[in-house]
Amino acid sequence: MTYRSSPSAGAPVALATLLAPLALLALLALLTIACRPEPELSGRVAVEPGPPRVLEGTHYDGTPFDLTALEEPFALVFFGFTSCPDVCPITLGNLDRAREVLGDNADRVAVVFASVDPPRDTLDQIGRYVRAFDAEAYGVRLDEQQLARTVESFGLVVEAQPPFDPEKPDNYTVDHTATLFLVDGEGRVVLTYPAYTDPALIAGDLHQLIDRL
């Protein structure tokens, strides 16, 4: 009589016992990746972006400018004046370097310099000043009424100081908010940066935000 040997039931059980821990480890690895928190942003996150900010004036080329009408999904907005001796040129230089670090993403971020000195800063002056740092940046002139609306909208401090020499009324400085504002495509504030922030940190934040679009 011939007997047929039945398959061993122990082999599949042993294989399943070996594979179960491996499957569990793989699942844990996937969960770890999925639940990993996003890197923290360097800028100060706006608790509530709030309504779009008002920044309407004239671009240095003579065309109307409206912050909420920009095509770029993000804009870095800085307020200053062309006679500013320190924070303004340093900030514009840093913004140019931040755009360089962004590489292919640079065209998704607008740089906007808005003058807070209507009496002295003409369109021509603003244009020459901005182009010295970044030929693609926007340079915006605001008249007194436009400046007042923008100051209220952004919560700025802008105070023209008395002339250094009473006989030279145009020889004065302007105290102003030096905060850098990062706004989205609708003009809402997303992040803010203090003066002299490392451009690499700004670029790092923008890379993250652009990747989330």
Structural domain boundaries enclosing 181? 44-211
3-class secondary structure per residue, 122-153: CHHHHHHHHHCCCCCCEEEECCHHHHHHHHHH
50 within some domain = yes
Work out the number of other CB atoms within 10 angstroms of the CB of residue 122: 14
- Give 31's pLDDT tier (boundaries 50, 70, 90): very low
Alpha carbon 192 to its chain centroid, in Å, reads 8
Query: How many domains is the chain built from?
Result: 1
DSSP-H helix ranges across the chain: 10-35, 87-102, 123-131, 144-154, 199-211
**Residue 38 confidence (pLDDT):** 56
Instruction: Name the residue among 125, 121, 112 with its Cα closest to residue 144.
Output: 121
- pLDDT tens-digit series, residues 145-163: 999 999 999 999 999 999 9
15 within some domain = no
24 within some domain = no
Residue written as tokens 């993000």? 74
**Residue 129 confidence (pLDDT):** 98
- pLDDT tens-digit series, residues 167-189: 999 999 999 999 999 999 999 99
CA-CA distances (angstroms) from residue 138 to 17, 131, 211?
Answer: 65, 9, 24
148 within some domain = yes
Alpha carbon 47 to its chain centroid, in Å, reads 15
Q: Is 52 helix (H, G, I), strand (E, B) or coil?
A: coil
Work out the number of other CB atoms within 10 angstroms of the CB of residue 148: 12
174 within some domain = yes
3 within some domain = no
125 within some domain = yes
Q: Contact at 8 Å (CB) between 74 and 188?
A: no
- Which CATH number characterizes residue 56's domain? 3.40.30.10
What's at 189, amino acid-wise?
V
- H or E segment and range at residue 189: strand 189-193
111 within some domain = yes
Phi, psi of 159 (to 5 degrees): -140, 110
